Amino acid sequence: MNAQQKHIQVEISRSAFADNIHFLRQSLAPAKICVVMKANAYGHGLEHLLDSAIGAGADYLGICTNDEAATIRRRHPSHPILRLRTALPDELEESVTQLHVEEMVGSVAVAEFLAGHGRRRSSPVPVHIKIDTGMGRTGFLADDQAGMTAVCGMDGLRVRGVMTHLPSADGTDLGSTRDQLEQFRETMSSLESVLPKDVLVHSHNSAASMRLPELRGGMVRVGAACYGVRTSSHFSNPPELRPVMSIKTRIMEIRDVPEGRTIGYGSLYKTTRPSRIATVPVGFGEGYPRGLFNKGIVLINGQRCPVVGRVSLNVTTIDITDLSGDVRWGDEVVLVGRQESGEMTFEELADLFGGVHTEINLMAGFYNKPRYID
């Protein structure tokens, strides 16, 4: 039996996802667009969103694991796939022989491994050279001319792209990001004589694409923006980008509680007045972050109501003393999304406990059965 969940609705709008991609593609043209679908499409369900991404014009799909690539390959045998991290040796083996993922190359060792495969099958393996301009996790250091030149000259490889990744494009100050992009450009001009003319140059994640579109290069790699979330409070997304996921539940009990009573595990909240407490059948077992104790906010009747006390495994308590209008057992509670004129976004909820929107998307998708509403 695969019944729909009654106690929580994680709803995903494929049309919002497709519209977001359309919008990004139009506003960032002529750049190609790599729709980032790693981590099970940021928790939204790779398999369910895959065709919408391609239908909406994704030139590339960005993934991390072979499993994700295999999911794509089952339906799209030749659509370009880019791995957004360095592969492990056994991942590469499978990738070049079966999955045909374009790999990120940040060292001569990985390049040689792939070049060997390319020579054996007499067809060059497409790769993207990764340059570290400040993210500091992977890639050639920008001054490693020798390494990158060696990769460009390897028989058995085809350098399809040159890429970098920006660590602070969502920060207050874009100064360091501009410096990195400058360094990226300089590195590429020093490699100009060895790079193919049609090489794809890509550096921009969602935040950079929104904030520095003029420097976007030949392709952007956008995740957050496609799912309608923004990566920090230092900028707003254009209104055309709509959230793809929403999370709702319903009131399971309403109680009138006197002043001075404690609520929930650890007795972390004590009523300071006679209070009305609504309880919902959702907790961190449904992916509602435990860190939201005494901090979360939900929408009931379109109004904001605070989470009081601990978030339990499957139960959360909400103070509705100040709520106006009628509320009843079974009424809708919006955890993330819109209700009447109220809205709670993934970004705002994440900020309340020092998390990031993607964690909430991921957990909601992982712990529940999303419904694909259109």
Ligand X SMILES: *Cc1c(COP(=O)(O)O)cnc(C)c1O
- Which residue in the block uniquely carries the two structure tokens 């529940």? 368
Phi/psi for 81 (5° steps) reads -125, 135
By CB under 6 A, which span of 70-78, 172-180, 199-207, 283-291 interacts with ligand X?
199-207
Please check whether residue 281 is in contact with residue 315, taking contact to mean a CB–CB distance below 8 angstroms: yes
Residue type, 83: R
60 tagged catalytic: no
Sole binder of ligand X in the list 222, 244, 333, 334 (CB under 6 A): 222
CB of 69 to ligand X, least distance (A): 15
For β-strands 332-339 and 245-250, DSSP reports them as antiparallel
Q: Tokens at residue 120, please?
A: 């054996």
Minimum distance from residue 224 beta carbon to ligand X (Å):
4
Q: Which of residues 308-327 bind ligand X (CB under 6 A)?
A: none
- Take residue 214 and report the two structure tokens written for it: 């003029």
In the list 221, 248, 250, 310, the residue contacting ligand X (rule: CB under 6 A) is: 221
269 is catalytic: no
- Shortest distance (Å) from residue 225 CB to ligand X: 6
Distant-in-sequence contacts of 187-190, Cβ < 8 A, 24+ apart? 187/131, 187/133, 187/142, 187/148, 188/162, 190/145
Using the rule CB under 6 A, give the single segment among 21-29, 223-231, 325-333, 335-343 that binds ligand X.
Answer: 223-231
Cis bond before residue 370 (omega within 30° of 0): no
User: Least distance to ligand X from the beta carbon of 230, Å?
Assistant: 9
One DSSP character per residue, 190-217 reads HTTTTS-TTPEEEEE-HHHHHH-GGG-B
Beta carbons of 223 and 205 less than 8 angstroms apart: yes
| Site pattern 78..97 for ligand X (x: CB under 6 A) | ------x-------------
Q: Does 111 bind ligand X (CB under 6 A)?
A: no
Catalytic residue among 6, 32, 38, 60: 38
Candidate list 205, 271, 275, 312; residue touching ligand X; CB under 6 A: 205
Q: Which residues bind ligand X (CB under 6 A)?
A: 36, 38, 84, 165, 205-207, 221-225, 231
